[in-house]
């Protein structure tokens, strides 16, 4: 089982979604789609998001457009970014069966990043639900339910506990692969071709720190 941690707020999650099915079919993988709140990961680790750093925000848009061009995808981007992804993320948890959830996630991401739709809005989610041939009113009721709200919070907490700090992230066994451009490395790892010396890694991490940036805030 591969755990796929995602937040629809990230263009790199969208890019990943267009590569993941091919890898899944190639290696006959079981992938669990797990929505998490990216802002929650950032808060837990004391990090800033790319959109909170002006130079990085600009680069991220350019980079995402380059990758979209490379993959032959249409990039439009959401009407506002960053945006509040909570309703969209909770909508993913409406689907208990993983294959159906995966298809909904793909639809949601394309609506946001390829079509430029505002997936914060009930009207957008209702329209997508109609396309998906599900009851839109039931979907909106589920999004507002305490159970689904709690599940998203718990997903985020558990992700942090497992060392997840960004999206998209893949976790297989005790290993983490972060970023849409790590899929090739993930494939090699799953084929047993990318083993590293974990004892050496631990030894490196135990070496003392010799410099730290001061927080002047």
**2-205 to CATH, choices 3.40.30.10, 2.30.42.10, 3.40.50.300, 3.40.50.80:** 3.40.30.10
Residue in 97, 74, 92, 96 with CA at minimum distance from that of residue 6: 92
Q: Whole-angstrom Cα distance, residue 119 to residue 98?
A: 21
User: Which tokens hold the place of 72?
Assistant: 């032959």
Residues of the chain with pLDDT under 50: 216
Residue in 213, 175, 211, 185 with CA at minimum distance from that of residue 1: 175
pTM equals 0.95
48 exposure class (CB count in 10 Å sphere: 0-12, 13-18, 19+): exposed
pLDDT value of residue 215: 64
The residue extents of the domains of the chain are 2-205
**Buried b / exposed e along 124-151 (16+ C-beta atoms within 10 A):** bbeebbeebeeebeebbebbeeeebeee
User: Which tokens hold the place of 71?
Assistant: 């993959």
Residues 6+ apart with CB under 8 A from 38: 7, 9, 10, 49, 85, 166, 167
pLDDT value of residue 198: 87
pLDDT value of residue 113: 98
pLDDT value of residue 17: 96
Tell me the torsion sign for CA atoms 114, 116, 121, 124: negative
Could you read off the pLDDT of 39-94 as tens digits, one per residue? Answer: 999 999 999 999 999 999 999 999 999 999 999 999 999 999 999 999 999 999 99
User: Which tokens hold the place of 48?
Assistant: 């800033």
């Amino acid at each position: 089982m591969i755990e796929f941690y995602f937040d629809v707020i990230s263009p790199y999650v969208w890019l990943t979604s267009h590569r993941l099915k091919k890898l899944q079919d190639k290696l006959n993988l079981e992938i669990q789609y797990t929505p998490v709140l990216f802002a929650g990961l950032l808060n837990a680790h004391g990090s800033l998001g790319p959109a909170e750093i002006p130079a990085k925000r600009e680069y991220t848009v350019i980079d995402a457009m380059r990758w979209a061009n490379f993959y032959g995808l249409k990039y439009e981007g959401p009407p506002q970014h960053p945006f509040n992804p909570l309703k969209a993320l909770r909508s993913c948890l409406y689907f208990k069966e993983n294959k159906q959830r995966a298809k909904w996630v793909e639809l949601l991401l394309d609506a946001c990043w390829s079509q430029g739709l505002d997936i914060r809005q009930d009207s957008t989610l209702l329209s997508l639900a109609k396309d998906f041939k599900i009851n839109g009113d039931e979907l909106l009721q589920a999004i507002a339910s305490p159970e689904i709200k709690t599940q998203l919070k718990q997903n985020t907490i558990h992700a942090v506990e497992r060392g997840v700090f960004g999206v998209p992230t893949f976790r297989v066994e005790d290993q983490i692969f972060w970023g849409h451009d790590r899929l090739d490395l993930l494939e090699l790892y799953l084929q047993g071709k990318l083993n590293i010396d974990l004892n050496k890694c631990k030894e490196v991490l135990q070496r003392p720190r010799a410099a730290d940036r001061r927080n002047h805030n």
